[in-house]
């Protein structure tokens, strides 16, 4: 292997996933999946409970598919968040080939693991701060807007809709969890340009 050939470069499939077009598709899939899940829950609660016999299997299949889409895209966005230092863990992006090479060079497993884990560098920290700066006012508007609506619905306009059923309350909680865990990394993944090829 020459010096210009790096074993740390991600493979073709990973590079495809690192493109901005792919990242944006996943983010759209995640939020659209949540919207679909919310719609299914509300329809089930207010219109179709219990589902008519002919709709039960398609509805369950749709529900399962939506959950799968959300789970996959959510996990991907969270893993991207970890790599950019949003969470307590630090990025781990060393390839198996690179780990083997280090072991062959005499590094112990502990030393290889130490090299695998490194804090985000200064550019990654800068883009993380930028994403958090964009996400903060968005989440503040959503939370303050929601709280204001709740106060209005309770105190001023009692006819307004409020979550009552267990499914509706869980849907609101899930939306809050989704928003707080994914908004900054989703902004980051949406705006970061494609990875340039090494040359």
Partner 1 sequence: MPVERTERVTSGQGAVHNRLSVLRAERDWSRQRLADALGLHHQTVGYLERGDYNPSLELALRIAGLFALPVEAIFSLRPFKPLSEEVYGRTAQEERQQ
Task: Kindly list the residues in this chain that would bind partner 1 in the complex (CB under 8 A).
Answer: 2-9, 91, 93, 118, 120-124, 126-127, 130, 191, 193, 195-196, 198
Integer angstrom CA distances of residue 106 from 8, 101, 109, 116: 18, 9, 9, 16
Q: Is there a contact between 184 and 86 (Cβ–Cβ < 8 Å)?
A: yes
CA distance 117 to 99: 12
* b/e 105-117 (16+ beta carbons within 10 angstroms → b): eeeeeeebeeeee
Measure the N-to-C terminal CA separation of the chain; round to a whole number of Å.
15
Q: Report the residue number, 120 or 163, with the smaller CB distance to partner 1.
A: 120
Q: Report the residue number, 61 or 133, with the smaller CB distance to partner 1.
A: 133
We find the least distance from the C-beta atom of residue 109 to partner 1, in angstroms, to be: 19
The set of residues, in sequence order, having a beta carbon less than 8 Å from that of 195 and lying 6+ positions away, is 15, 18, 19
Q: Report the residue number, 110 or 123, with the smaller CB distance to partner 1.
A: 123
We find the least distance from the C-beta atom of residue 113 to partner 1, in angstroms, to be: 16
We find the least distance from the C-beta atom of residue 92 to partner 1, in angstroms, to be: 12
CA distance 163 to 150: 10
Q: Report the residue number, 60 or 121, with the smaller CB distance to partner 1.
A: 121
We find the least distance from the C-beta atom of residue 146 to partner 1, in angstroms, to be: 31
Q: Report the residue number, 118 or 148, with the smaller CB distance to partner 1.
A: 118
We find the least distance from the C-beta atom of residue 153 to partner 1, in angstroms, to be: 41
Task: Report the candidate in 195, 199, 5 with the shortest Cα–Cα distance to residue 98.
Answer: 5
């Amino acid at each position: 292997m020459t010096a210009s050939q790096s074993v740390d470069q991600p493979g073709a499939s990973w590079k495809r996933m690192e493109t901005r077009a792919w990242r944006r598709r996943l983010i759209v899939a995640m939020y659209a999946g949540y919207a679909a899940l919310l719609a299914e829950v509300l329809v089930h609660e207010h219109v179709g409970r219990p589902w008519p016999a002919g709709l039960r299997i398609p509805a369950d299949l749709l529900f399962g598919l939506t959950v799968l889409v959300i789970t996959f895209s959510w996990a991907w966005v969270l893993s991207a968040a970890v790599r950019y230092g949003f969470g307590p863990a630090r990025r781990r992006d060393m390839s198996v080939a690179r780990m083997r090479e280090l072991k062959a060079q005499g590094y112990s497993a502990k030393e290889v693991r130490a090299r695998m884990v490194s804090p985000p560098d200064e550019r990654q920290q800068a883009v993380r701060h930028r994403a958090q700066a964009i996400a903060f006012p968005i989440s503040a508007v959503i939370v303050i807007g929601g709280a204001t609506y709740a106060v209005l619905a309770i105190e001023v306009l009692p006819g307004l809709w409020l979550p009552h059923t267990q499914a509706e309350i869980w849907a609101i909680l899930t939306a809050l969890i989704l928003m707080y865990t994914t908004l900054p990394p989703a902004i980051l993944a949406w705006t970061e340009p494609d990875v340039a090829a090494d040359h």
